[in-house]
Structure 1
C-alpha cells in the first residue's frame, strides 16, 4: 500500500512521465518527478498541459515538484516507471540502491519483457503493470500536448487501489484491469508500427497516410496475430478497432483509410513514435522489446517471424550508422520482397 504522506515518485520524467505526473499532481496526489536538472525550471515557470483529442479539450498549468537526485526513491511510497526499456537495467540498479525494500512499483513501459525483468529483480515487491495508449509531445519547453486517444490502464493490485484514491479528481481517468496481460499484448500490436514510423522519417499522420508504409505494418501485424494464435496468446482491443480489422483497414486504398481511420485516431499531424525520436537523435531504440518480443514468441512456439525480424535488422543497421529513412516503396521492398 502507498504510505500516507509519502510521495509517488515518477522515475523517467520525459513526455509521458511529466504529463501523467502533472495530471496526478493537479488532482492532489503527492507526486515527485525524478528527472534531469533542466526540469527544475518547471517548479516556478509551470508546466502547461494540453489535451486536444478529448471530447472536452483541456488546457491547464501545474507547478510540479521536481527532484534530480536518485535519493528521492528512498522517500517513495510508490515508484512509477516511465523510462524507455533501454534504461531499465540502470533504473533497476538505482531502485536497489536507494529505495526501501518493499516499495511497490508501477511499470508503464512498452512491451511485455520489462515487467518480467522487474519481477525477477524484485521478487518480494508488488509489481503492477500499466499501459499508456497515447502519445505526448513537447510543444515547447514548458508545454506538453497529448496527441492521440485512449485511457491509461493499470493492473488491479493493492497499491494500485490505493493510488486510485489519490486520483478521484484527475481530469483524465485511470482504468483498472483484473487481467492486464491481454491489454499489454494488444498494445504491443500497435507498437509494431514504431519501427516503420521511425524508418519513414515522417510523422505518424503522414506515414500512415501512405499505403505502402501501411502494407508493411499490416504484414507485421498479421504475422504477429498468426503467432499469437498458435501460442494461445489472448489480446485485447487497443484502439478503435479489433486487430484483424486494423489489418483490413491498413490495406484499404488511401481515399478510404485517410478519410475514416485517421480521423478515428485523432492523430496530431506532428506526432511521432518515441522510436522515431530515438533513432533520429542517435539513441538506442526499443526494437528488441517490441518487435523482438514477436520474434522470441515465434521461436518459442516453433514458428518464424520474418517480417518483424527484417524490421529489427533495418533498425539495428540504422542504429549502427546505416540508412535511417526509407521511402514508402523502398521500405515495402526491403521488408516484403
Structure 2
C-alpha cells in the first residue's frame, strides 16, 4: 500500500465532527487537541490538575508562529472524560502506557480508535495487549513545549504519519482539515524507528547539557558523537529486520535546522524533575543490541548518564 498524504485542504472535512479525547495532554497532546478544537471538533483534554484548572478558567492558550489564541474546550484530570470518544489521541509518556490504558479501558466503546502519539517503537503493540479496541501507531514530528499551565508554545512542524486502520482515512482527512499534515503509511514501524534514531541522537545530549538543538550541534565533537549513536541504532534496526525510510543522515541534520530552539522532551522532563523516557529510547537500543550481539557503547553511555542525573535529581527531591 503506497503512502497516502492529506494536505491542508478544508474541502476534505465532510464528516460529522468527531468526539476526540486526548489522554495525557502535555505539549504534544495539547497541540493536536488544540488544533482539532480550533477546527470545530468536540475535544476533551485529559491532563494534570494544574493544566486542567488553567484551561477550565482561561481556555487553552495555543501560541504558534502564525497565531496566539485562547481556545475554549473541555478538560479533565479523570480518564472517564474519554467516555464515548470516537478517537483517543494517546499521548502519555511511554513509562505510563500501562497505567493510562487500564484507566481508560472501562470508558471506551468498541468502535473507538486509539491512536498512539508516543515516543518509542513498542507502545502500540503494548496497547493492543491491554485494550480490545483498535489501536494504530502514529509518528509525531512537532516542536512544542508547555510554557506554563494551560499554555502550549509551538516552535515548528506538526505533521503526523499514521498506520492504516478502519478509521485512518477519516482521521487523516479530519487532521488535514485542522491544518495538521497527515500521511498514511504501511511502514509506520520503519517511520517509528526513524523517529527513534532522531530521539537517540538528540534527546539525551540535549537533556544532559540542557541545550536546544541548534546550539547543541555547534558543540565540539557533537556531530561525530551523534554519528556514532546513529550508526549503532541503524545496526540494531537492521538486525531487527526494520526498513527505515528516507535519508537518515539528512533527517538528523534537519532537526537542528528546523527546530533550532527546541529542547528535547527528555531535557524538558529532567528540567521539571520528572522521570524521562530514556529507557524507551537509548535504553531500548542497548537492550535490542544485547539481544542481537551488537555493541552499543555510545547509546549505553548516554543512557547511563541520563539515569545518573535522574537518580541525582530524585535524591535532591527526597532531601527537600
**Which residue in the other structure is 2:191 paired with?**
183
**Which residue in the other structure is 2:127 paired with?**
118
- Pick which of 274-283 and 98-107 moved more: 98-107
Shift of the 263–18 alpha-carbon distance from structure 1 to 2, 3 Å rule, reads closer
For residue 133 of structure 1, give the secondary structure of its aligned residue in structure 2: strand
**Which residue in the other structure is 2:6 paired with?**
none
**Which residue in the other structure is 1:29 paired with?**
41
Partner Cα separation in structure 2 for residue 135 and residue 77 of structure 1: 26
Partner Cα separation in structure 2 for residue 194 and residue 156 of structure 1: 28
| Structure number with higher strand proportion | 2
Deviations 1:85-127, CA, capped at 9 Å, x for gaps: 11112102202343335532100010111112112212x4211
For residue 307 of structure 1, give the secondary structure of its aligned residue in structure 2: helix
Is 1:127 aligned to residue 135 of structure 2? Answer: yes
Pairwise CA distance, 1:262: 7.4
Is 1:244 aligned to residue 253 of structure 2? Answer: no
Counting matched residue pairs gives 299
**Which residue in the other structure is 1:164 paired with?**
172
Deviations 1:40-62, CA, capped at 9 Å, x for gaps: 4324523332333xxxx344442
Deviations 1:24-46, CA, capped at 9 Å, x for gaps: 11112221111233324324523
For residue 142 of structure 2, give the secondary structure of its aligned residue in structure 1: coil
Kept in 1, the 8 Å contact 2:158–2:181? The answer is no
**Which residue in the other structure is 1:313 paired with?**
304
Is 1:12 aligned to residue 17 of structure 2? Answer: no
**Which residue in the other structure is 1:41 paired with?**
54
Q: Which runs of 5+ in 1 are unaligned?
A: 250-260, 324-337
**Which residue in the other structure is 1:277 paired with?**
268
Pairwise CA distance, 1:232: 3.1
Pairwise CA distance, 1:315: 1.3
Kept in 2, the 8 Å contact 1:222–1:244? The answer is no
Partner Cα separation in structure 1 for residue 41 and residue 265 of structure 2: 27
User: What pairs up with 1:1-337 in 2 under 5 angstroms?
Assistant: 7-38=19-50, 39-52=52-65, 57-122=66-131, 124-149=132-157, 151-192=159-200, 193-237=202-246, 242-245=247-250, 264-268=257-261, 271-321=262-312
**Which residue in the other structure is 1:329 paired with?**
none
Q: TM-score, normalised by structure 2?
A: 0.83
Shift of the 208–8 alpha-carbon distance from structure 1 to 2, 3 Å rule, reads same
Shift of the 128–99 alpha-carbon distance from structure 1 to 2, 3 Å rule, reads same
Q: Which runs of 5+ in 2 are unaligned?
A: 1-14, 315-320
For residue 135 of structure 1, give the secondary structure of its aligned residue in structure 2: strand
Deviations 1:117-153, CA, capped at 9 Å, x for gaps: 112212x421100111122023454542222335122
Partner Cα separation in structure 1 for residue 192 and residue 255 of structure 2: 23
Shift of the 162–150 alpha-carbon distance from structure 1 to 2, 3 Å rule, reads closer
Kept in 1, the 8 Å contact 2:22–2:91? The answer is yes
Structural RMSD (CA):
2.7
